[in-house]
Amino acid sequence: MKLGFVAPIVGEQMNFNGRGSRNPPKRRISGRNLRNSCVAGNFDHVESPDFLHELEALRGRSCTTAEKRYEVLKVRDRILQRLRKHVNGVTAKKLIVERWIWRHMSGPLLERYRRIFQMSVNPFEKRPSGEPDHKFFVTDYSRSAADQEEPLCHELRSPKALVASMDYILKWMCNKPVTTQWYDFVWSRTRAIRKEITQQKIISPEAVGILEKCCRIHIFAAHHFCECSASDFDQQMNNENLTKSLQSLRHIYEDLAKRHIYLDSEAEFRCYDVLLNLRDSNILQQVFKLRVEVQATPEMRLAVNLFLAFNTSNYVRFFRMVISSCSFLQACLLHRWFGELRADTLRTLAVSYSKKIIRDTSDALTIGRNFQTVAQ
């Protein structure tokens, strides 16, 4: 494999402006000339042009294995990190990032070859024969370290690429059996997408759409894997990701509202936020701070009524609303509270009937059959 892409990753062409010489004169550029120079791929204003020579030396190198490709790409990124620190002016850095932001949904090449070299390719990214297939690759999630460098421009995906990645995950994985392995793959890829949204500080309806899909996935997974052991499915981690996704949505909703941009789906996810925090007494204060249009929606009225019924131990009204008024995802989200409300109801009945035998309570407490009807 010829790595002819090493030099163009810095600019559209390696223009040294030297006649018969590869050592360009050092000069400083500012203002409009600096911006034009960056867009054209001319980096004569860089104080240490040796970085460009190091990049040029990598160009055309033959790499026959994934390990060699990974090593070359790693050296390239290390040089680019040093080069970025020597670029004069914030404007130049911004233009470089905007011009060379990664536009493919599969993710950076370094990340792909690293996983191939380390034999950590997910089975969903392989052919039936077991060989990795690059068209199935989606950027995996990696935790940020304290000493980690700021990501390079080609290590990030554009908003359109993030939307395409999310759509690809849903379309490709919806026909697969929903197992814990399925969840691990979807979680790591959607977590990587959310990480890039945070890194790039994307505030747009597209970002909202991605986060809403992430929330729906975690709500569904919480109910679908509720009977799995802790070693197979980490319910707490799933709840944390759901909470963080809803929190990010709240912030973006507020930022978009300042631009007078309102989304029809806001009420649905504000409702999920209430249902997730039925034990939080401050959640109603947040509801009262919402726009009147959101408070008046059927979703928010249902959420408030469920909150009141749950906290007053009115189990009859609570379960009737679950059966008659809740959608599938709302019922999945409320399923986590069923055991707690059942226990409170049993204690209330035990106190009411004292030492008498409790009879005919099965109709009031066993809602498993009815919940399955809602789920279907």
- What is the DSSP secondary-structure string of 189-252? HHHHHHHHHHHHT--SHHHHHHHHHHHHHHHHHHHHTTTS-TTT--HHHHHHHHHHHHHHHHHH
Q: Is 274 helix (H, G, I), strand (E, B) or coil?
A: helix
> Cα-Cα-Cα-Cα dihedral of 50, 53, 55, 60, to 10°?
-170
Cα distance between residue 125 and residue 130, in whole Å: 9
How do residues 219-257 score in pLDDT, each as one tens digit? 999 999 999 998 899 999 999 999 999 999 999 999 999
How do residues 315-342 score in pLDDT, each as one tens digit? 999 999 999 999 999 999 999 999 999 9
**Cβ-contact 376, 356 below 8 angstroms:** no
**What's the pTM?**
0.72
Percent of the chain with pLDDT over 70: 67
Res 43 pLDDT > 80: no
126: β partners: 132
**Cβ-contact 218, 245 below 8 angstroms:** yes
Percent of the chain with pLDDT over 90: 43
How do residues 161-212 score in pLDDT, each as one tens digit? 899 999 988 888 888 889 999 999 999 999 999 999 998 899 999 999 999 9
